[in-house]
Amino acid sequence: MSEDTLGKKSRGKSGTGWPRWLRLPPVLGMVLALFALWYVAVVPMNVKEVLTAAERAGVAVSPPSAVERRDMGNWALVMRNTHALGDSWSSDRPKLPAPHQVLVELYDSTIDEELNGRRGIVKSGTLSNRSLVYHAIVTLNATFLGFVIGTVLGCALAVGIVHSRVMDMSVMPWAIVSQTIPIVALAPMIIVVLYSIGVQGLIPKAVISAYLSFFPVVVGMVKGLRSPDAMQMDLMRTYSAPTTAVLWKLRLPASVPYLFASLKIAIAASLVGAIVGELPVQKGGLGARMLAGSYYGQTAQIWAALLVAAGLAAVLVWATGWMERRTLRKMGAKP
Amino acid sequence: MTDTTAVIRASHLDLTFQTADGPVHALKDVSLDIEKGSFVSFIGPSGCGKTTFLRCIAALEHPTGGSLTVNGMTPDEARRARAYGYVFQAAGLYPWRTIGRNIALPLEIMGFSKAEQAERVKRVLELVELSGFEKKFPWQLSGGMQQRASIARALAFDADILLMDEPFGALDEIVRDRLNEELLKLWAKTEKTIGFVTHSIPEAVYLSTHIVVMSPRPGRITDVIVSPLPKERPLDIRDSPEFIEVAHRVREGLRAGYEE
């Protein structure tokens, strides 16, 4: 065994060279700092509504008229009314809800809704359509279907691009152009067009998902399929190996690490695609929840849905990474 | 060495690469016959066409003039008839396959049955003294062992000719000496015809029955030395007067190629 591999072993598998427990403080510190910033930001963001409510409750605020306050800066109002800001973190319809309000909303719309709600799984036997668990599953279905379509399509296109000069020159530019169009603009059109030919529900959302996720797969797989060097290709030629054998025995196995790097991006892109696809349809899903929240001024609801979406993305990317480690270990990668 | 048992026969071979800077004469008027069972080394400085000539035999390059036959066929036909095994400078084992599965790779492509594959893998692993390493992955082996595995891979489908392009060039001298010794034993056991490209004068003299000295611009043969050394060659033969004399002649040939 070489010096190099021995050195890597003794440094542990993390790669950063830090033991696991030592990595916790910086991560925790970052989270706490973000929460602190969030709590601070809540005060100026909600100051106008808080002062109006205080005025109604009979507290003297400065300046006394709402019209005057409207044209003033938020920080200036905060400075002049430090005595009347007690309700900043508990207002009913905050522009920016405080973290604990979001967490309460998150609890209410997941565990509480399912366990105690009239439509919850405990009382009705099915998931409540007011719960984020239900909406997350709706979104996940579209995400997975879109991810599978995008991955298969991406791999197929990459195989074509690598083997055919015509496809290389004709498909690749379109694949790149496709990603320059804002998906928010394209998503409603995809839904309308598919609806007009009778396709609705899961498929249109999955198509939008696939539209976003095929691209990283194409780019990664083209690079991966081309990664065997001249010597490895020559070796195959000395066996008079047919193109299919070169593909199955050399190009595809060599592209697996590239594929997984792409899949991590693709799964996150699929989730974004599914959420964007839910915005115009309003038939369930985290995207629908976010838009509904903004219609009714329920910012805590938007934030709770956002948190669930972020959590899902983290879990999906982690799961892809786990699959990657497992697969590469089976393919003989150094532990 | 023109006689009827020649397995590789090149006459007036020319190869010109068209590059952006104009044509490059990689090979010019190369004529050489290689007898069955001989061990032929090609030696010369970079750009002398020794690797190019080996690649022509393997049909990895195609000459632009002259004629070349391998086992009486064109190089392309010979390749399809599995006339040769090729060993590259790097072992080039697939990191995702175990040693055994790496050696089985050409067998899979050529359509050998599973049982036959297993039997052949076992046999060639014994031949290169790697028995017991079948289930290991390449990174678990040293550089020298990896190169031995790549030789086993080239031997697995029983080609009569073994073409080796600086196979030990990336290894240190101690490992190289050992592999040279083993290669000679292997050659004696299998009676293959070996074409061997090298940069090293001692390696060429130690291994070969014939040493082909080449020189660059244009790539051509300047001398073919038939080795007077016996077939049985212990490592310390390299201190014998005969060895030193042959090495001297090779060095002279290389120098003559430069001075022209």
Q: CB distance B96–A231 less than 8 Å?
A: no
Residues B76 and B14 in one domain: yes
Residue B102 has pLDDT above 60, yes or no: yes
pTM: 0.83
Residues A183 and A58 in one domain: no
Instruction: List the single best residue of A3, A235, A329, A330 to mutate versus B (max B Cβ within 10 A).
Output: A235
Segment of A121-125, A127-131, B95-99, B166-170 carrying the highest mean pLDDT: B95-99
Residues B118 and B5 in one domain: no
Pairing between β-strand B84-87 and β-strand B6-19 as defined by DSSP bridges? unpaired
Residues A46 and A169 in one domain: no
The alpha carbon of residue B137 is apart from the nearest alpha carbon of chain A, in Å, by 6
Residue of A nearest to B105 (CA): A249
Q: With beta carbons under 8 A apart, name residues in chain B contacting A236.
A: 109
Do residues B35 and B69 lie in contact, with contact meaning Cβ atoms separated by under 8 Å? no
Do residues A129 and A252 lie in contact, with contact meaning Cβ atoms separated by under 8 Å? no
Residues A75 and A187 in one domain: no
Q: What is the mean pLDDT of residues B51-67?
A: 90
Cross-strand bridge partners of residue B10: B32, B68
Residues B24 and B148 in one domain: no
Residues B132 and B168 in one domain: no
Residue A16 has pLDDT above 70, yes or no: no
The alpha carbon of residue A6 is apart from the nearest alpha carbon of chain B, in Å, by 12
Residues A150 and A52 in one domain: no
Do residues A261 and A220 lie in contact, with contact meaning Cβ atoms separated by under 8 Å? yes
Instruction: List the single best residue of B112, B139, B153, B171 to mutate versus A (max A Cβ within 10 A).
Output: B139
Residues B116 and B152 in one domain: yes
Sheet containing strand B220-226, strands side by side: B84-87, B161-165, B193-198, B39-43, B210-215, B220-226
Residues B150 and B166 in one domain: no
Domain ranges, residue A92: 17-96
Residue of A nearest to B145 (CA): A1
Residues B2 and B66 in one domain: yes
Residues B154 and B51 in one domain: no
Compute the distance between CA of residue B19 and CA of residue B177 in angstroms, rounded to an integer.
Answer: 38
| Partner residue opposite B109 with nearest CB, options A239, A253, A331 | A239
Note the pLDDT of residue A126. 82
Q: What is the mean pLDDT of residues A37-65?
A: 88
Residues B191 and B70 in one domain: yes
CATH number at residue A233: 1.10.3720.10
Which ipTM was obtained for this model?
A: 0.88
Residues A137 and A35 in one domain: no
Residues B43 and B100 in one domain: no
Residues A169 and A303 in one domain: yes
| Partner residue opposite A334 with nearest CB, options B106, B108, B139 | B139
Q: CB distance A332–B95 less than 8 Å?
A: yes
Residue of B nearest to A246 (CA): B109
Cis peptide before B218 (omega within 30 of 0): yes
Q: CB distance B86–A238 less than 8 Å?
A: yes
**Secondary structure (DSSP) of B18-87:** EETTEEEEEEEEEEEEEETT-EEEEE-STTSSHHHHHHHHTTSS--SEEEEEETTB-HHHHHHTT-EEEE
The residue type of A241 is: A
Residues B167 and B69 in one domain: yes
Residue A4 lies in a domain: no
Residues B198 and B74 in one domain: yes
Residue of B nearest to A249 (CA): B105
Residues A55 and A158 in one domain: no
Domain ranges, residue B97: 90-158
Residue B248 lies in a domain: no
Compute the distance between CA of residue A100 and CA of residue B260 in angstroms, rounded to an integer.
Answer: 88
- pLDDT tens-digit profile of A190-240? 989 999 998 888 899 999 999 999 999 999 999 999 999 999 999 999 999
Q: With beta carbons under 8 A apart, name residues in chain B contacting A240.
A: 79-80, 82
Residue B57 has pLDDT above 50, yes or no: yes
Residues A323 and A191 in one domain: yes
Q: CB distance B95–A241 less than 8 Å?
A: no
| Partner residue opposite A237 with nearest CB, options B60, B82, B138 | B60
Residue B6's CB is within 10 A of a number of other CB atoms, namely: 19
The interface residues of chain B toward chain A in range 66-85, judged by CB-CB distance below 8 A, are 79-80, 82, 84-85
Q: Chain A residues within 8 A (CB-CB) of chain B?
A: 5, 231-232, 234-241, 245, 249-250, 253-254, 256, 331-334
Residue B109 has pLDDT above 60, yes or no: yes
Name the more confident of A283 and A210. Answer: A210
Residue A193 lies in a domain: yes
The alpha carbon of residue A162 is apart from the nearest alpha carbon of chain B, in Å, by 20
Count of structural domains within chain A: 2
Compute the distance between CA of residue A5 and CA of residue A282 in angstroms, rounded to an integer.
Answer: 54
